[in-house]
């Protein structure tokens, strides 16, 4: 990763600092949902296998968010899945996206993963194009149906 960017944990006050990036990507997400999401990754944090981190630019501002988990793919074996991947930097978005991908790849290497997968929402089509330009290929589609939860994770 370029020396000008730094990966920092999203915990404590940074949960609130990162929330504007979440809202910029998905305006309908409220603060309680964001906090619950971060808590769910923290609850699964076993030997560093999942986390929520942010990318900080040289000016000290958060410009990206990444939530990852070590998963298992039937064809590829151990992989690092980025379930949340947001890069918002008005001046250098390609550098920001590249720095996030470098962070994903470095963490995947540390966890002994054979590859990475980045999950994007359909609203992130422009980001998908940037990832494709960086050499990542779209290998799957995710189909979903939302329903009311039987239990609350709060």
Domains along the sequence of the chain with CATH? 6-133 (3.40.630.30)
Residue 40 above 90 pLDDT?
A: no
Residue 45 above 80 pLDDT?
A: no
Whole-number mean pLDDT of the chain? 87
d(CA 114, CA 136): 14
Q: What is the dihedral of CA 117, 120, 125, 128, to 10 degrees?
A: -20
41: number of Cβ within 10 Å: 18
Q: Are 93 and 25 in contact (CB under 8 A)?
A: no
**What is the pLDDT, as a whole number, of residue 80?**
94
Mean pLDDT of 116-143: 87
**What's this model's pTM, rounded to 2 decimal places?**
0.83
Write out the E strands in 35-128.
Answer: 50-56, 62-73, 77-87, 115-118
**What is the pLDDT, as a whole number, of residue 36?**
93
């Amino acid at each position: 990763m370029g020396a000008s960017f730094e990966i920092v944990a999203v915990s404590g006050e940074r949960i609130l600092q990162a929330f504007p990036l979440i809202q910029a990507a998905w305006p309908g997400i409220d603060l309680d949902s964001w906090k619950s999401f971060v808590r769910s990754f923290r609850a699964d944090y076993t030997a560093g296998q999942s986390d929520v981190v942010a990318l900080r630019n040289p000016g000290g501002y958060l410009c990206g968010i990444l939530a990852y988990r070590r998963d298992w793919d039937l064809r590829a074996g151990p992989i690092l899945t980025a379930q949340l991947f947001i890069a918002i930097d008005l001046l250098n978005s390609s550098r920001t996206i590249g720095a996030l991908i470098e962070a994903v790849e470095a963490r995947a290497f540390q966890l002994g993963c054979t590859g990475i997968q980045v999950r994007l929402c359909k609203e992130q089509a422009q980001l998908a194009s940037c990832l494709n330009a960086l050499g990542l290929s779209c290998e799957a589609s995710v189909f979903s149906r939302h329903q009311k939860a039987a239990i609350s994770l709060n």
